Structure 1
Amino acid sequence: MTAASGRPRRADAERNARLLLTAARELFDEQGPGAPLDEIARRAGVGNATLYRHYPTRGDLLVAVYADEVAALCDQGAALPAETAPGEAFFTWLDAFAVHVATRRTLAFAGTESDGDRRTELFERWHSALTSTAERLLARAQDAGAVRGDVTVTEVLALANAVAASGADPARVRRLLSIVRDGLT
């Protein structure tokens, strides 16, 4: 990570930022996006000033947590082809994507509700990164004959989003996605 000045962060500052993101993610999971910022700083083992130096507003912290999760999902998509067969890599990632959308929707919206322009820019970046990841995995699975060749990434992501919209229960999302998988293979 880099500081706002464009210079790399000092090691202790980078560590504090990571501690804050971890604590925020845990508390947002437990209490929702309205979790007390003081509690996040306490759980991270830093002072409030450190929290506000890294994340001046609740929205900044929410965006950082969600952006970190999108990056992790994209990283997972990049790593899967090296360790998994094309079809399995695609469906493993699609499962993670659908569960992510189902369980993190509130966090994504909470971090980007205040400024319409900001929301559009952030959502476009996140959408683009996730779509690119899905495209690579889908093309590989289609080339291997593991997924129908007549479906597009837009169609597959629309189906995954529809499944995710059915509720935040990961077991239900996975069950419905298994039905979609049957139709895609």
Structure 2
Amino acid sequence: MASDGDGDRDGGAGRARPKRTDARRNEKTLLEAAAAIFVTAGVDAPVRDIAARAGVGTGTIYRHFPTRADLIIAVYRHQVEACAEAGPALLATSETPHAALGQWINLFVDFLVTKHGLAGVLQSDSAGFDTLHAYFLDRLVPVCSELLQAAADAGEIRSDLDAYALMRGVGNLCIGADSDPRYDARRLVELLVAGLRRPR
């Protein structure tokens, strides 16, 4: 990806210096704005809409992300990291582990909605897509496992639930949500999570 001007060159060594704190903060703002727009309008949403939400000009987005594929992949990675970091935080702050699991699954659904356009963007780069998918599994399956284990230890859900299977199930429920306005994937996912609870 081309330099956006935020990382100066390191003299004769030719290595890019780490981005300054303000540059990282600006990039995070852009990624969060893009993710929010992608969730509601899809990955083909106009760049001007993302720029408006982030409070910057479109040129700023192109300096950070020269192509739409660059932006979508960066949003994908940003959301994976946000989901991964949210799991432990939700366990620490939610009323119950099951509540933490439900909130985390909601974040995961947001991620899946954004992810729908990724395959199309990377259709000519299957190796790149496979690498991102492996990264997604490596980061998120352990987090989901931790949430399930905490809820099982609390006696809220069964102890034989598999994180990968649950994530696949949630993913399958989200298929078609973007093509049928009557299909409420979030409601179905909510029912799925509620159904994990052990009867009182």
Are residues 1:66 and 2:76 paired? yes
Separation in 1, partners of 2:168, 2:135 = 17
Matched, 1:46 2:57: yes
In structure 2, what is the Cα distance between the partners aligned to 1:155 and 1:47? 40
Aligned-partner Cα distance in 1 for 2:164–2:28: 33
Correspondence 1:176 to 2:187: no
| Unmatched 5+ stretches in structure 1 | none
Helix, strand or coil for the counterpart of 2:129? helix
Aligned length: 182
Are 2:105 and 1:90 equivalent residues in the alignment? Answer: no
* 1:66–1:107 Cα contact (<8 Å) kept: no
Q: Deviations over 1:127-152 (max 9, x none)?
A: 22111110111112222222212222
> Aligned partner of 2:187: which letter?
R
Q: Which residue is 2:171 aligned to?
A: 161
Residues 82-127 of structure 1, C-alpha deviations (whole Å, 9 max, x = no match): 12222322233234324542x2242443453341111000111012
Alignment of 1:1-185 (within 5 A): 5=15, 7-37=17-47, 40-41=50-51, 44-46=55-57, 48=59, 50-84=60-94, 85-98=96-109, 100-101=111-112, 103-165=113-175, 167=177, 169-178=184-193, 180-182=195-197
Segments of 5+ residues of structure 2 without an aligned counterpart are 1-5, 10-14, 179-183
Asked whether the equivalents of residues 25 and 65 of structure 1 are also in contact (C-alpha less than 8 Å), the reply is: yes
Instruction: For residue 33 of structure 1, give the secondary structure of its aligned residue in structure 2.
Output: coil
User: Residues 172 and 128 (structure 1 numbering): CA distance in 2 closer, same or farther, change over 3 Å?
Assistant: same
Q: Which has the higher contact order (CA 8 A, sep 6+)?
A: 1
For 2:16 and 2:150, locate their aligned partners in 1 and report how far apart those are by CA, in whole Å. Answer: 37
Paired amino acid for 2:78: D
- Whether the 8 Å contact between 2:47 and 2:58 is mirrored in structure 1 is no
Instruction: State the Cα RMSD in Å.
Output: 3.1
4+ long deviations beyond 6 Å: none
